[in-house]
Amino acid sequence: MDKYVIKGGRRLEGSVRIQTAKNSVLPILAACVLTDGKVTLSDVPDITDVANMTAILSSLGCSIVYEGGSAVIDSSSAHTFEIPSALAHGLRSSVFLLGSIVSRFHRAKIAYPGGCDIGLRPVDLHLSGLKRLGVNISESGGYIICECERLRGNEIMLDCPSVGATENIMLASVRAEGTTVIENAAREPEIVDLQKFLNVLGARVRGAGTGTIVIEGVNKLGGGSFRPMADRIEAGTFLIAAAMCGGEVVLEGVGGENLSSLLHKLRENGCKLRVKNDKIYIRSDRRPLSVKSVETQPYPGFPTDLQAQMTALCTICSGNSIVTENLFETRFKYVPELKKMGADITVVDRSAFVRGVERLHGAVTAAHDLRGGAALVIAALAAEGDSQVVGITHIDRGYSGFEYKLSALGADIRRVGV
Ligand code: UD1
């Protein structure tokens, strides 16, 4: 149960290399169950969500070996189709394995997933999609049980563009008989990355990044090497930290194409931004201006995973802002914590009304989820005086070496065992 001890008020200066994307790596790891070929994934981030996913793969009988910065996954010896609750509860993305496992074994038994407590997060779209591919689904004792004779391609219309459901259906259908068409598919860049990865293994998937994805089933997938895309949410978190603390920071290994909605807002804040090749430069020299209104939306709209960090920034802008969360129900749990630091925020339904104050002050705060925790850290970095953030296991789920990267930029942040 570690905590961060932070002395606020330092400008951030220097460069930081962006990790590969958690939300890309997790479904790609799930996809490895689909093949007997060896898969080499480079630069897999050292985060607990990945550790939990690889623990689940090991429990299924897959072998995962780290060679340098790469993970080599060999699923040829996978023999189990069950994920017990002790493993599934650590990771919401364990639900992606439904599609992969049912494709491989024609049955699956998976405990209901865990993950961030940011609202109901149902899996009805995942299950109805699998049903359309011919899977019989029942639920018993906290387990989802899937069985089928064979998987058959079909047309699937999603009621809303769920990222996880789109990915799960892609995984279930790549080796199905015939063609699957997913309509109203999510368009997130991580879905494009999953398509690229599956096609490296020999799948025939097209259309990712648009609302219609077409998957022509193939009999068999092979092995291959892949480097997942850069983590746009980690990148966004560092950009917002720089905007909030002031300074000059270069993000390396990430382009601006997947971050347009944030870059647009940061320019409204008065930050100077430049994108060149795979680098993003940000300079922030004065108190940020208010952005008036931010609304989370499916991609390419403003990402819900940057909502908490953006609200933290709004707390010190000159002027008022309204931040509206349209995707998840309880994604303002960090707000009472920010208020301990002097933030002036009122939450009404799905909107946070933020009145900018000149400066936050240090406080002891508690992270309740991954992105809310990151928001508390960057608020503490910008605040006057000393802060502590407890509950940082949530942050470890998605940020590799967060405190090292921030320290390298000049922040005064230490991890302390409690
Ligand atoms: C993924 C991301 C998460 C991000 C989210 C939205 C991963 C590992 N996680 O989560 O970081 O915040 O996308 O960009 O990639 N819904 C249903 N029924 C379902 C599935 C979803 O109603 O069966 C609803 C959810 O309650 C939510 C909305 O759809 O309101 C979006 O959820 P979804 O896109 O599925 O998010 P995740 O895949 O869980």
What secondary structure does DSSP assign to 54-120, as a single string? HHHHHHHT-EEEEETTEEEEE-TT----EE-HHHHTT-GGGGHHHHHHHHHHSEEEEEPP----SS-
Measure 291 CA to ligand 1 centroid, in angstroms. Answer: 26
Measure 304 CA to ligand 1 centroid, in angstroms. Answer: 10
26 C-beta closer than 6 A to ligand 1: yes
Percent of the chain with pLDDT over 70: 98
Mark whether 116 is an active-site residue: yes
What pTM did the predictor assign?
Answer: 0.96
Task: Encode pLDDT of 247-271 as tens digits.
Answer: 999 999 999 999 999 999 999 999 9
pLDDT of residue 86: 85
Measure 162 CA to ligand 1 centroid, in angstroms. Answer: 5
Atom of ligand 1 nearest to the CA of 23: 15
Residue among 62, 116, 245, 271 flagged as catalytic: 116
The answer to whether residues 296 and 302 touch, using CB atoms and an 8 Å cutoff, is: yes
* Structural tokens at position 36: 């007997």
Phi-psi domain of 233 (left: phi exceeds 0; alpha: psi -120 through 50; beta: other): alpha
d(CA 29, CA 47): 14
The 8-class DSSP code of residue 288 comes to P
pLDDT of residue 117: 53
Mean pLDDT score of the chain, rounded to an integer? Answer: 95
Nearest CA to ligand 1 atom 17: 122
The answer to whether residues 163 and 191 touch, using CB atoms and an 8 Å cutoff, is: yes
* Structural tokens at position 370: 């991954």
Measure 288 CA to ligand 1 centroid, in angstroms. Answer: 31
The 8-class DSSP code of residue 170 comes to H
Atom of ligand 1 nearest to the CA of 93: 8
| Residue 264 CB contacts under 8 Å (≥ 6 apart), including other chains | none
Q: Name the 3-class secondary structure at 25.
A: helix
Measure 22 CA to ligand 1 centroid, in angstroms. Answer: 14
d(CA 8, CA 413): 9
* Structural tokens at position 126: 């995942």
**Which residue has tokens 């939300």?**
23
**Confidence at 157, pLDDT banded by 50, 70, 90:** very high
Distances (CA, A) of 68 to 41, 118, 396: 11, 35, 21
d(CA 155, CA 254): 35
398 C-beta closer than 6 A to ligand 1: no
Percent of the chain with pLDDT over 90: 89
pLDDT higher at 296 or 117? 296
What secondary structure does DSSP assign to 365-399, as a single string? EE--SHHHHHHHHHHHHHSBSEEEEE-THHHHTT-
**Confidence at 1, pLDDT banded by 50, 70, 90:** confident
Measure 164 CA to ligand 1 centroid, in angstroms. Answer: 6
pLDDT of residue 68: 84
pLDDT of residue 118: 44
Nearest CA to ligand 1 atom 39: 164
Element (H, E) at 224: strand 224-226
Q: Calculate mean pLDDT across residues 39-62.
A: 96
d(CA 418, CA 313): 28
By C-alpha distance, which of 65, 56, 117 is closest to 87?
56
Atom of ligand 1 nearest to the CA of 167: 38
Atom of ligand 1 nearest to the CA of 327: 30
Strands 386-390 and 2-7: antiparallel
328 C-beta closer than 6 A to ligand 1: yes
166 C-beta closer than 6 A to ligand 1: no
160 C-beta closer than 6 A to ligand 1: yes
The answer to whether residues 169 and 152 touch, using CB atoms and an 8 Å cutoff, is: no
193 C-beta closer than 6 A to ligand 1: no
Atom of ligand 1 nearest to the CA of 188: 14
The answer to whether residues 382 and 407 touch, using CB atoms and an 8 Å cutoff, is: no
Task: Encode pLDDT of 387-418 as tens digits.
Answer: 999 999 999 999 999 999 999 999 999 999 97
Q: Calculate mean pLDDT across residues 328-333.
A: 88
Q: Calculate mean pLDDT across residues 352-368.
A: 97
**Confidence at 297, pLDDT banded by 50, 70, 90:** very high
Cβ of 105: how many Cβ atoms within 10 Å?
19
**Confidence at 329, pLDDT banded by 50, 70, 90:** confident
d(CA 205, CA 189): 15
**Which residue has tokens 């609750």?**
85
pLDDT of residue 143: 87
93 C-beta closer than 6 A to ligand 1: yes
Task: Encode pLDDT of 133-150 as tens digits.
Answer: 999 999 888 889 999 999
23 C-beta closer than 6 A to ligand 1: yes
296 C-beta closer than 6 A to ligand 1: no
| Domains of the chain and CATH, by start | 2-18+230-417 (3.65.10.10), 22-226 (3.65.10.10)
Q: Which phi and psi (to 5°) does residue 146 adopt? A: -120, 140
User: Edge-to-edge strands of the sheet including 272-276?
Assistant: 12-17, 247-252, 279-284, 272-276
Measure 382 CA to ligand 1 centroid, in angstroms. Answer: 30
By C-alpha distance, which of 93, 102, 149 is closest to 123?
93
pLDDT of residue 97: 93
125 C-beta closer than 6 A to ligand 1: yes
Task: Encode pLDDT of 70-127 as tens digits.
Answer: 999 999 999 999 998 888 887 877 888 999 999 999 999 998 775 545 445 688 999 9
What single-letter amino acid sits at 33?
V
Measure 187 CA to ligand 1 centroid, in angstroms. Answer: 12
Q: Residue count of the chain, please give it.
A: 418
> Residue 189, preceding bond cis, omega within 30 degrees?
no
d(CA 381, CA 7): 7
Write b or e for each residue in 330-343: b if 16 or more Cβ atoms lie within 10 A of its Cβ, otherwise e. ebbbbbebbbbbbb
d(CA 161, CA 208): 12
User: Edge-to-edge strands of the sheet including 143-147?
Assistant: 82-83, 107-111, 143-147, 136-140
Among 126, 159, 160, the mutation site with the greatest number of ligand 1 atoms within 8 A of its Cβ is 160
Task: Encode pLDDT of 179-207 as tens digits.
Answer: 999 999 999 999 999 999 999 999 999 99
